C-alpha cells in the first residue's frame, strides 16, 4: 500500500517555484506522496476547503492552491477558485484537461480539491470520460480553511494517501472524504453539515494510519473521451404534486435533448409529466426517470412509471438525478443509445 508520511503539520510553510505555465511546485519535504511511478499532482478548484470567512460570516473561496498545499511535496496546478455551485460543464473540461495532462506527463496520481455541492457531478463526468490507470481522487471540506477545527487538511492528506497508493491504480475516479473512499459512480452528497458528507453507495475502501485499504474494486463507467461543453443539453426536471407539463415543455423549448425526471417514489409523476413524456419522447427527446428519494431502486412498478416507460422513457435504477444527468450527457455526446448506457451504468 502507498503511504503518505507526515513529517510536519500540513500548514507548515514551504518553498515554492512557479513555472511560466502557472504551475506551482511545492518542494518542501513536509508531506511526501510515495509511489513507484512518480509524483502526485494536486489540482485546486476552490470550494469550502479553500474558503475563508468574511466579516459577515460568509464563506468564499480565497485561498490559493499554493497556500492550500503548503508543506506538501507535490506539484500544484491552480486552475480556478470557485464555489462549486457555480461550476459549468466547460469548467469540467478545464479540470479534466488538467488531470489528464498531469497523467500524460507522468503523474502517478491526481488529487482534485473541489467544493462538495457538485463534487458528485464533476467526479461522474471525469469517470465517464477517463479510462487511464492513474487514480484521480476528489476531496474537499465541510469547514472553511480558517475554522479552528478545519477538516480540509486531513482530507487532503488522506486523498494524497489514496492517490499515491499502488492499490488505487486502475480504480478510476474516487471521492475521499472523512476517511471513506468512494467510487464516483453512485456517490452523492448526503449531508449539508456533517463531516461524513457523502454516501449513496458503500465505500470501496478507507484511509487509516496514513494507509489506504481497498476493500473491493471500483466500477468504472467509461463512456468516451468527449468534451462536456459540447455535449447536448440535458435538464433535470422535478416532479411534484400538481406540476403539469410546463417545466418539461419549457426545457425542450430551451434546447434540451434529454430530460432526467426527478420523479416521486420509485419512479412516478403526475399526469402532466406523463403527457409531456408521451409527446416529446417520440420526437427524439431522451427521458430518464430517477427519483427524489435518497435510496432504493427506481422501478416501473406503478401505473405512472409504467406509462412513461411505454412512452419511451428509461428507468434509472440506481443513480440519482445529478449523476443520471451526467451519464445521459455522455451517452448523447458519444451518440450511444441512451437506454443501453443507462441499463449498464444507471
Phi, psi at 278, each rounded to 5°: -60, -35
Q: Over the range 111-150, which residues count as b (16 or more CB within 10 Å of their CB) and which as e?
A: bbbbbbbbbbbbbbbbbbbbebebbbbbbbbbbbbebeeb
* Secondary structure of the chain as H, E, C letters: CCEEEECCCCCCCCCEEECCCCEEEECCCCEEECCCCCCEEEEEEECHHHEEECCCCCEEECCCHHHHCCCEECEEEEEEEECHHHCCHHHHHHHHHHHHHHHHCCCCEEEEECCCCCHHHHHHHHHHHCCCCCCEEEECCCCCCCCCCCCHHHHHHHHHHHHCCHHHCCCCEEEEECCEEEECCCCEECCCCCCCCEECCCCCEEEECCEEEECCCCCCCCCCCCCCCCCCCEEEEECCCCCCCHHHHHHHHCCCCEEEEEEECCCECCHHHHHHHHHHHHHCCEEEEEECCCCCCCCCCCHHHHHHHHHCCEECCCCCHHHHHHHHHHHHHCCCCHHHHHHHHC
- Enzyme catalytic residues: 48
Amino acid at each position: 500500500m502507498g503511504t503518505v508520511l507526515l513529517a510536519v503539520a500540513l500548514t507548515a510553510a514551504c518553498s515554492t517555484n512557479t513555472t511560466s505555465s502557472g504551475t506551482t511546485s511545492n518542494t518542501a519535504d513536509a508531506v511526501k506522496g510515495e509511489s513507484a511511478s512518480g509524483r502526485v499532482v494536486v489540482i485546486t478548484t476552490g470550494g469550502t476547503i479553500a474558503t475563508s470567512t468574511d466579516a459577515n460570516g460568509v464563506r468564499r473561496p480565497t485561498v490559493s492552491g499554493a497556500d492550500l498545499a503548503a508543506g506538501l511535496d507535490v506539484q500544484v496546478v491552480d486552475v480556478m477558485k470557485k464555489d462549486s455551485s457555480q461550476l459549468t460543464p466547460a469548467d469540467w473540461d478545464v479540470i479534466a484537461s488538467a488531470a489528464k495532462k498531469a497523467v500524460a506527463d507522468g503523474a502517478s496520481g491526481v488529487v482534485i480539491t473541489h467544493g462538495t455541492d457538485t463534487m458528485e457531478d464533476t467526479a461522474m463526468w471525469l469517470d465517464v470520460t477517463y479510462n487511464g490507470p492513474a487514480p484521480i481522487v476528489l476531496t474537499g471540506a465541510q469547514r472553511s480553511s480558517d475554522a479552528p477545527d478545519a477538516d480540509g487538511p486531513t482530507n487532503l492528506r488522506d486523498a494524497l494517501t489514496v492517490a499515491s497508493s499502488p492499490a488505487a491504480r486502475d480504480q478510476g475516479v474516487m471521492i475521499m472524504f472523512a476517511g471513506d473512499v468512494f467510487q464516483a459512480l453512485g456517490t452523492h452528497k448526503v449531508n449539508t453539515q456533517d463531516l461524513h458528507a457523502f454516501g449513496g453507495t458503500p465505500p470501496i475502501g478507507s484511509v487509516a494510519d496514513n494507509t489506504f485499504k481497498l476493500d473491493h474494486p471500483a466500477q468504472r463507467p467509461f463512456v468516451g473521451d468527449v468534451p462536456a461543453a459540447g455535449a447536448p443539453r440535458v435538464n433535470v426536471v422535478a416532479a411534484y404534486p400538481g406540476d403539469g407539463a410546463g417545466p418539461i415543455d419549457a426545457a425542450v423549448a430551451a434546447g434540451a435533448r434529454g430530460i432526467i425526471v426527478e420523479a416521486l417514489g420509485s419512479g412516478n409523476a403526475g399526469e402532466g409529466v406523463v403527457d409531456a413524456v408521451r409527446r416529446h419522447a417520440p420526437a427524439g427527446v431522451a427521458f430518464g426517470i430517477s427519483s427524489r428519494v435518497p435510496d432504493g431502486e427506481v422501478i416501473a412498478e406503478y401505473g405512472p412509471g409504467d406509462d412513461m416507460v411505454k412512452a419511451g422513457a428509461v428507468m434509472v435504477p440506481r443513480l440519482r438525478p445529478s449523476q443520471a444527468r451526467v451519464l445521459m450527457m455522455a451517452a448523447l455526446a458519444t451518440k450511444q443509445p441512451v437506454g443501453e448506457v443507462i441499463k449498464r451504468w444507471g
